[in-house]
Amino acid sequence: MTSKHPHCVAIEPDLVAAATGEAGLAVAERVRHHVAHCAPCRGDFTRYRAIEAITGQIRTAPVALDDEAGARARLASRLADVRRRLLMYRIFDSPLGHILIARSEEGVALVEYLGSNSVQASRLTRIADGVELVEDDDQIERLCRELTEFLEGRRVKLDWPLDLRLARGEFDRSVLHVTAGIPYGAVTSYAAVAREIGKPSAVRAVAQALRWNPLPLVIPCHRVIGSSGALTGYAGNKVTLKQRLLSVEGMPTVRSPRDFRIARAATYACDRSEREYCLPTCGSIMRRSLAGLTLFASRERAEAAGLTPCTTCRPDLHPLER
């Protein structure tokens, strides 16, 4: 390769710019003047123009794709598969420590208390059936905000589309479905849920199903308690947390030797087969087990659930004192 004059080396980028139409007026003029007097650079300029013309032709007559429609269809099917398997998650700091929220395109699939743990401790890492995890999602930001409001008592409903793919089976799904219907500021019992799904003897299985509830708080399993009024378990051994969640909803509890229990004398009661709510002193309601009852923290909560005051004990005329 012959060595070029330094001036020619220096002007080559401008030569390219002028040949490809990227040069300003002053640069184009300088190049024009230079090539008029420099034969080697004139040659180079011509070659750059030829390259520009040919790349232009390549651009306007692009390579033919063998089967673009087929490629698109195969991509669409792969995408549909990824969309089905993809879970997007975010971990955020809540008043209860780290909480993980994961969602699919269908809806929220998992809410998990992580305490001080990281995602490695999550149930997500143990899901084997081809679930794909992606961190971060702007939409989850909104869910985190709503969940915080809920935990602070500033929101009574988490009205989220749900994806129950992480539920363990049909039985669990039916338990979760009934539990999702328990209103804010109310409690009922495992036995009542068992009755409602038509399996009155499956009380323990109901408790197990709720233990594996993939959507605590959203599906309010903290509102399901023992028939005696004792709170019993929550999320393993977090019964204190259950008491805290219930008290945010205004549900009165008292400490018992081993547990907490609902202060029944301070709640309104409703027979699950009726549409009226009663004072705790109405008839024999106070002595009945919770297997057939729902308790409400306040008249407002009972009426928000669509119930009317009992026409015998008239809780509307003689409300409980708080």
Partner 1 sequence: MAKDPFETAVAAHHAEIHRYVVRLTRRASMAEDLAQETFLRAYRAWRALPEGANVRAWLFAIATNVCRNHFRGEKRRSVAHATVRATGNELDTAGPESETLFNETRTLIEASVERLPLKQRTAFILRKIHELEYEAIGQSLDCSVESARAHVFQALRKIRQSLNGHELP
Which residues contact partner 1 by CB under 8 A? 1, 12-13, 16, 43-44, 46-48, 50-51, 53-55, 57-59, 61-63, 65-68, 71-72, 74-76, 78-79, 82-83, 86, 88, 132, 134, 136-139
Beta strands in the chain (DSSP E): 86-94, 97-103, 108-115, 132-135, 186-189, 224-225, 253-255, 260-262, 268-271, 276-277, 293-296, 308-309
Closest approach of Cβ 36 to partner 1, in Å?
19
The residue among 51 and 286 lying less far from partner 1, judged by its C-beta, is 51
Strands 224-225 vs 108-115: parallel, antiparallel or unpaired: unpaired
Beta bridge partners of 90: 101
Residue type, 261: R
In the complex, the smallest distance separating the C-beta of residue 287 from partner 1, rounded to whole angstroms, is 55
Taking the least distance from each CB to partner 1, the nearer of 54 and 286 is 54
Q: How do beta strands 97-103 and 86-94 pair?
A: antiparallel
Give the Å distances, CA to CA, from 279 to 83, 293, 315.
Answer: 51, 13, 6
Give alpha helix (H) positions in 86-169: 138-151
* Four-point Cα dihedral 182, 183, 184, 186, nearest 10: -70
Cβ 146 to partner 1 shortest distance, Å: 18
Q: Which residue in the list 221, 270, 310, 313 is annotated as catalytic? A: 221
* 269: Cα separation from own chain's centroid: 33
Pick from 160, 168, 126: which is nearest to 143 by CA?
160
Q: Pick between residue 17 and residue 282 the one whose CB is nearest to partner 1.
A: 17
Quick one: how far is CA 248 from the chain centroid? 22
Q: For 4, which DSSP code? A: P
Of 27 and 241, the one with the shorter C-beta distance to partner 1 is 27
User: Is 221 considered catalytic here?
Assistant: yes
Task: Kindly tell me the burial class for residue 234, based on how many C-beta atoms sit within 10 Å of its own C-beta (0-12, 13-18, 19 or more).
Answer: buried
Tokens describing residue 243: 């008491």
CB of 60 to partner 1, least distance (A): 10
* Residues with catalytic function: 221
